Every structure is written in C-alpha cells, then in structure tokens.
Copies of this chain bind each other. A is one copy, B any other.
Amino acid sequence: MKHDDVEGRGDLGVVDALAQLSFVVQGVLGQIAAEHELSIIQTRLLGVLRDRSPGMNELARYLGLDKSSITGLVDRAESRGLVRRKPSSKDGRAIVVSITAAGRKLAQRLASEFKQRMTTLVGPLQPAEQRALSELASRILIHEAAGRGVDLMTAST
C-alpha cells in the first residue's frame, strides 16, 4: 500500500519513466548502430568528428574516456576507413583526428535512420504533445549542462 501512489493509472512516475525511456532510446540507437556493424561509442566518435578535428586528448574529454582508451577506438575506426590521423602542424607531439568522406556518409545515414525510428517512437503523441515533451526534456538538459559549466544552446556537441 504505497502512501504516495498519486500517479494516475498507466503512469510510471517521472523517475521510472525517464529511466525506462533511456533504455528504449539507447536500444534504438544500439540497434541502428549494430545494423551497420558499429557500437554506440563508435557512433558517438563519428558524431563528435562531424564538426571538429580534435587531438586524442581532446577527444578523450569529449567522450569522457581515458586517452589510452581513445587509441584503440580510433585504431578500429581508422582501420575501417571512417576516420584518419594526421600529425599536427603546430605541435610535434600531437596528432589530429578527422572524419573521412566514408565516415561522414555513414554518420549521416545513422542519423537519418535514428531520426526516423525516433519519430515512430514518439508517434503515439500528438504534435502538440511532442512539442511539450521536447520542451520539458530540453529544459532539463539545459539545466544539467549549465551545472557542468556548458551552454547547451551554444555548444555544438
């Protein structure tokens, strides 16, 4: 007998709903990536490189991984022709990682398939409800990003 059972029938409560929804969304992403023999992290790598050519260290910060993990990640993507390493012209120690034409093409394809699947997922909601959902989720994200010192609306991640 939950004393705080204020949710109407069919409602999971914010915490559970967002948790479960995150698994569903990640599942969609993982499935689409897998259809192209990619992992989620490889997909994120391509996403980051779509509008940037960072060094390994910088890449590690973007992805929240140790730089030693980036080495293997980039190795595998490079051996598939999706990204490329080039020595930095400014710093003899550094290298610059960039996406190849093939990598960009694949990234675009993944993005479009993801968008389509997500559109289907939110299909049961009316357009106005989708906008409301978008707005609420965005507000959470903006606050969360601000809490980490990032301006979501400016950062192009």
Contacts and interface: CB of A to CB of B under 8 A. Distances in A.
A15 B125 contact: no
B10 A118 contact: no
Contacts of A17: 133-134, 137-138, 141
Kindly state the interface size class of chain A when it binds its partner: 35 or more
Interface stretch (A19-27, A71-79, A95-103): A19-27
Contacts of A138: 10-12, 17
B124 A143 contact: yes
A139 interface: yes
Nearest to A26: B22
Interface in A113-157: 114-115, 118-119, 121-125, 129-144, 152-153
Identical copies of this chain, number: 2
A18 B137 contact: yes
Interface of A: 7-15, 17-26, 29, 114-115, 118-119, 121-125, 129-144, 152-153
Contact of A130 (B14, B24, B115): B14
Nearest to A6: B131
A134 B26 contact: no
